A and B are shown apart, each in its own frame.
Chain A
């Protein structure tokens, strides 16, 4: 049981390039999310999915696309990278535990855009 896995661990892009950050979970969780973490700003929600085929925008969705074709995978696409997207990206999967949702985070992808 690997939990939530993310690839790559590190990535450097030039402005304007596109790329996909991979995320997979093997816990059969319905919910998956993408966050970015910037110094002094905590984690901010980019996009989330409540199940295969269903996605929605979070707090900071501009410049990012997602899709959820399977329960296991939730890739995040940067369409045209900008220096403002330099950040650490975390994928999380979660399940409903009573009235709350318990989230499990991946190890993160550190992205630098030059």
Chain B
């Protein structure tokens, strides 16, 4: 089993604050994906990072893949209530083989 640990498990912040969540593993992944899941729905893919050290930006969200391709971070600038949800990272090791982290549950308070 490829273990992916996410931290923090829970995060509650005020609107406008910045935050970073982390996804760490001892395993090397060929790529890493971030998903956001809202209550009662399935996860929705936000981004895929493939190259060690890669940084991708999606509006106020910045994703980084570690140089060794074992870890990743998600930084949100000026968080908004619409950012509330469960953020999941998932590491890919082979064809269609994804291992999910346990998630960070983010609440942004207006």
Query: A residues engaging B (CB < 8 A)?
Result: 4, 31, 33, 35, 40-45, 48, 50, 59, 90, 92, 94, 96-108
Instruction: Among B95, B98, B99, B103, point to the contact of A103 (Cβ < 8 A).
Output: B98
> What is the total of A-B residue contacts with beta carbons within 8 Å?
60
Q: Which residues of B contact A40 (CB under 8 A)?
A: 102
Query: B residues engaging A (CB < 8 A)?
Result: 1, 4, 30-31, 33, 40-45, 48, 50, 88, 90, 92, 95-103
Given A41-B102, A44-B100; A102-B48 close (CB under 8 Å): yes
Given A92-B42, A105-B44, A107-B42; A100-B31 close (CB under 8 Å): yes
A63 to B101, CA, bound (A): 23
Contact between A100 and B101, CB atoms less than 8 A apart: no
Contact between B88 and A43, CB atoms less than 8 A apart: yes
Given A42-B102, A43-B100, A59-B1; A100-B41 close (CB under 8 Å): no
